[in-house]
Structure 1
Amino acid sequence: MVRFGVIGTNWITDRFLESVKDLHDFELHAVFSRTTEKAEEFAEKYDINYTFTNYEEMAKSDVIDAVYIASPNSLHKEHAIVFLNNGKHVLCEKPLASNVSETKEMIKAATENNVLLMEAMRTTLHPNFKVIKENLYKLGTIRRYFASYCKYSSRYDAYKAGTILNAFNPNLSNGSLMDLGVYCIYPMVVLFGAPLSVKGTGVLLESGVDGGGSLIAQYEGMDAVIMHSKMNNSFLPSEIQGEEGSMIIHDNISSPDLVEIKYKDGSEETISMDRDQPEMYYEAEEFIKLIQEGKTMSSINSFENSLHTAEIMEDVRKQLGLIYTADLTK
């Protein structure tokens, strides 16, 4: 069994815990919250034995082996490094950190302490992502990667009404690129590596974050086009276009449940398989497997892929003039 603690008692932690309830070797032992009331309420909900209102105490305790971090983006580095330095394995929600500097600090701490650090990017650990990768050759020479994740945020209604919630707060390193664009960028990096150059545009909101935007990444012989937004919906599928055919990833790239190839001769092929677990199950499964194998890095959600993704997002933010509070303390 791998004994887990969780940081964060919000909806994403709920979703994660619901996803892993049938995962063998996952055992929930502790929760951190800033208030005793919330910690105890969450502990009662999930039958958790230990509650903490001081995350350093949780990191130093002997009641957990690993931690799932779902705190605000701006706190990922601070929380992760404390646990890494105390010999705990860390599964950290995407984006791994606020910027490149923080990402490097986290990787350094994991390496020095010989423990596992993995970004919880569920897309690239979805069973159909492996199918996508294994079937790319059928497309011939690939000329374009297109990914879209545009989802109207209910928090945007509050923003327009004058209330700035976490999703639109630059102090927490949020916004469309970090929250949704990362789902498009990370798979691109896993499939094709780091691009030669990136050009980004976006809409900056008065709160100091981006509400949406686009970017073009240039590769040798191909380009990538990415759209993301928290201010509007899009129903376009994502697509990988080759000279022999195009691979269509329906709905949005974050959940590749249905994947088809349309060939230039008019024939079609469905290559996706039905998943048998909630989509966040697979990231936890990979994380636990790596711990049990004594490994300190995923070959899929690797340090290199997380770092390249952070570099792309920071490059785009610089082009937009989008600066987080975390950037000022580098």
Structure 2
Amino acid sequence: MKLALFGSGMIVSDMLTMIGDVHNVQLEAILGTQHGLPTMQKLAAQYQIPKIYTELSECLADPNVDTVYIGLPNFLHYSYAKQALEAGKNVICEKPFTLNAGQARDLANLAQRKNLILVEAISNQYFNNYQQIQADLPKLGSLKIIDCNYSQYSSRYDAFKHGNIQTAFDPKKGGGALMDLNIYNIHFVVGLLGAPTQVHYFANIDHGIDTSGILLLEYPGLKVVCTGAKDCAAPVRSTIEGDQGDIEVIGPTNTLEKFTEHLRNQDTVTVDKRIHPHRMYQEFAAFTKMIDTHDMAEADRRMAHSLTVMDVVDAALADAQIKLG
């Protein structure tokens, strides 16, 4: 995989700390704005990235680049991914995949027509710990309640309260608690259970954006609560409860460092099957294999999951009467 990085913010900087551990990844370029040029120069020097671009067309014309990683603000995902696909590049796009399901399906259809790999970078779907939870669900018997809470007081919330609306809280730029934090909970649940039968979103809304909210998902015989908050904080944890026991994840659903199983009349078991300390390692190892082998079947399977998540997002935003973009 010959990779160009789109963006030079926190997510790209974080990704760069582990990408050297992923087999068969060659960093070719980094793209950003003139304003971000000093940061890009620093990253390029630190991680031996040979080319820096401030013009998208020039980056996409680079014959040495076969894949782009989009680590830009949410509202730019669709347009940059579309242009990259049209230029014949495989695309790895950060979460949330797009601002709505229509945009996501447009990109998926374009990737199919171009015979290109298009995947959403959503870490929890690739963890060994997550796959073990999937395998262990039957141990819990009939599932009854799932409760996921990812509440984290935003460093930008105080400014927001005083009228300084930055990207993380800007509805025009795809901000808000659902798209930033609760999206991980949605992926966690949908990856286990598929599409829900009903979606309701009860949000605390200020200046047209959800600063926190409770998402209710209904499945036959099962109720799911997903809480995401940027205006308050609480212990971050998730529980899956069945009539034969429960699984508890301490910490956010985007790291899933370990989990415990409490089964009826059995000792508590703690499980940790991580193979790398960085949360992004396993997804990028999977992306590299997918791209190097041109595994369209696997890309399609992953995309089907992302599209289901975007359908849930659409229903949640509509229920709360929130308009993004």
- Decide: shared fold, TM above 0.5: yes
Q: Which amino acid counterpart does residue 174 of structure 2 have in structure 1? A: S
Could you say which residue in structure 2 is the equivalent of 1:93?
94
Could you say which residue in structure 1 is the equivalent of 2:276?
276
Change beyond 3 A, Cα 1:54–1:296: farther
Could you say which residue in structure 2 is the equivalent of 1:32?
31
Could you say which residue in structure 2 is the equivalent of 1:328?
none
Could you say which residue in structure 1 is the equivalent of 2:110?
109
Aligned pairs for 1:78-227 within 5 A? 78-206=79-207, 208-227=208-227
Give 1:300 shift. Answer: 9.1
Give 1:173 shift. Answer: 0.8
Give 1:132 shift. Answer: 0.8
Could you say which residue in structure 1 is the equivalent of 2:258?
258
Deviations 1:249-302 (A, max 9, x none): 111222111211111225211232244331111111110011122213546971
SS in 2 for 1:277: coil
Give 1:42 shift. Answer: 3.5
TM-score for the superposition, normalised by structure 2:
0.95
Q: Is the 8 A contact 2:151 2:236 kept in 1?
A: no
Could you say which residue in structure 2 is the equivalent of 1:302?
302
TM-score for the superposition, normalised by structure 1:
0.93
| In structure 1, distance between residues paired with 2:185 and 2:56 | 32
Give 1:47 shift. Answer: 2.1
SS in 1 for 2:145: strand
Q: Say if 2:68 is the partner of 1:67.
A: yes
RMSD, aligned CA = 1.6
Identity, % of aligned positions: 28
Q: Is the 8 A contact 1:74 1:97 kept in 2?
A: yes
Q: Is the 8 A contact 1:209 1:322 kept in 2?
A: yes
Could you say which residue in structure 1 is the equivalent of 2:44?
43
SS in 2 for 1:135: helix
Q: Is the 8 A contact 2:7 2:31 kept in 1?
A: yes
| In structure 1, distance between residues paired with 2:114 and 2:195 | 27
Could you say which residue in structure 2 is the equivalent of 1:244?
244
| In structure 1, distance between residues paired with 2:50 and 2:252 | 38
Could you say which residue in structure 2 is the equivalent of 1:285?
285
Deviations 1:18-63 (A, max 9, x none): 1212111111110111217344344233221111111122122202
| In structure 2, distance between residues paired with 1:183 and 1:45 | 30
Q: Is the 8 A contact 1:128 1:256 kept in 2?
A: yes
| In structure 1, distance between residues paired with 2:18 and 2:95 | 17
Change beyond 3 A, Cα 1:238–1:300: farther
| In structure 2, distance between residues paired with 1:185 and 1:204 | 19
Change beyond 3 A, Cα 1:301–1:170: farther
Alignment: residue pair count: 323
Give 1:167 shift. Answer: 0.5
SS in 2 for 1:78: helix
Q: Which amino acid counterpart does residue 323 of structure 1 have in structure 2? A: K
Q: Is the 8 A contact 2:171 2:209 kept in 1?
A: yes
Give 1:130 shift. Answer: 1.0
Structure 2 gaps, min length 5:
none
Deviations 1:176-219 (A, max 9, x none): 0000010000121111000011111001112x211000011111
Q: Is the 8 A contact 2:3 2:29 kept in 1?
A: yes
Give 1:141 shift. Answer: 1.6
| In structure 2, distance between residues paired with 1:298 and 1:197 | 28
Q: Which amino acid counterpart does residue 257 of structure 1 have in structure 2? A: E
Q: Is the 8 A contact 2:118 2:299 kept in 1?
A: no
| In structure 2, distance between residues paired with 1:287 and 1:92 | 11
Q: Which amino acid counterpart does residue 214 of structure 1 have in structure 2? A: I
| In structure 2, distance between residues paired with 1:11 and 1:227 | 24
257-266 or 310-319: bigger deviation: 257-266
| In structure 1, distance between residues paired with 2:235 and 2:277 | 24
SS in 2 for 1:101: helix
SS in 1 for 2:156: helix
SS in 1 for 2:296: coil
Change beyond 3 A, Cα 1:72–1:143: same
| In structure 1, distance between residues paired with 2:243 and 2:170 | 43
Give 1:169 shift. Answer: 1.0
